[in-house]
Structure 1
Amino acid sequence: KAGAVDFLEKPVENQTLLVAVRQALEKDRQARLAQARRQVLQERFAALTPRERQVFQMVAAGRLNKEIAFDLGTAERTIKVHRASLMRKLNCQSLAELVRLAQELESK
């Protein structure tokens, strides 16, 4: 069963076989879509500058702009600029979306 989606014992009815094949095809389609999404996310993440990656990780961890600025030795306004830039590059509309994206990237 290694690599198999399902296991059917003979004799099998035609309808049962068709249902199993459709389910296997749907699982494969979903897996391919998920892989394509991960690839797009990885490409977008690769487009970030090293500093944007740092800010991304800290924002995704729940750190405030002020805290990030202090840790990186820069102004809070600079962090806001980096954050806006990385959200644009990653095509995120909200902080929640950014955190979800970070979780997806971690689970690759």
Structure 2
Amino acid sequence: MAGEAIVYVIDDDDSARHSLEFLLDCARIRVRSFVSADAFLAASPPLAGACVVTDVRMPGRSGVELVEELRRRGAAVPVIVITGHADVPLAIQAMKAGVADFIEKPFDDAVMLAAIRNALARQAGDDQAQAEHQAVLERIASLSPREREVMDGLVAGEANKAIAFDLGISARTVEVYRANVMMKMHAKTLSELVRMVTLARLS
């Protein structure tokens, strides 16, 4: 969990905030805290590889309202909401808002750490997938129009001769374009090329 992972703790209760900071320090997870949701939003800290742990009831914006605001801003960061109140409607509202987890005070340290580690692991996977997707889009953009036509034929399952016929070029020329496509797309096999292009088109 070392490296870029960071947890943002948001709680107006000093003792609760410091307790979580200590817990995360001991677990060797980077942590930064804020006294309110508004202070967190105003600071706009980087969210890549991050997880937010927020109290649900705070002066100003509540934890659930924070989640809703992050979603409005398109921030796909996992949020764990903690509360000292056995408030079922609030829990339902939080889950509908898209929280990663909902934990009631007083919570067990092991339960909290497990929830945080799960959220960070999911976030790391999402960030990696997004980076890979962006890389594929950039590779496709680097292709010439003719290379892209050949790639489309390959992904559609057409043989070199069929692609050559469709484009009015020789099969040998198709082979040259095919080699360029594979190199530019960083694809070792045709199935790898198909997978990359298919995933790029799905989004």
Name the TM-score, length of structure 2 as normaliser: 0.51
Deviation of residue 20 (structure 1)?
A: 0.3
Name the TM-score, length of structure 1 as normaliser: 0.92
Q: How does 1:22-61 map to 2 (within 5 A)?
A: 22-61=117-156
Instruction: Give the secondary structure class of the aligned counterpart of 2:187.
Output: coil
Structure 1 gaps, min length 5: none
Cα distance in structure 2, aligned partners of 1:10 and 1:60: 53
Q: How does 1:8-19 map to 2 (within 5 A)?
A: 8-19=103-114
Q: Across the two proteins, how many residue pairs are aligned to each other?
A: 108
Q: How does 1:60-99 map to 2 (within 5 A)?
A: 60-99=155-194
Deviation of residue 28 (structure 1)?
A: 0.7
Deviation of residue 14 (structure 1)?
A: 1.6
CA RMSD of aligned residues (A): 1.3
Deviation of residue 6 (structure 1)?
A: 2.1
Q: If each structure's helix is expressed as a fraction of its own residues, which one has the higher value?
A: 1
Cα distance in structure 2, aligned partners of 1:85 and 1:107: 24
**Percent of aligned pairs with the same amino acid:** 44
Structure 2 gaps, min length 5: 1-94
**Structure 1 outlier segments of 4+, above 4 Å:** none
Cα distance in structure 1, aligned partners of 2:157 and 2:100: 39
Q: In structure 1, what is the equivalent of residue 101 of structure 2?
A: 6
Deviation of residue 105 (structure 1)?
A: 1.0
Cα distance in structure 2, aligned partners of 1:78 and 1:99: 21
Instruction: Give the secondary structure class of the aligned counterpart of 2:103.
Output: coil
Higher Cα Rg, which structure: 2
Instruction: Give the secondary structure class of the aligned counterpart of 2:132.
Output: helix
For CA contacts below 8 A with separation 6 or more, give which structure has more relative contact order: 1
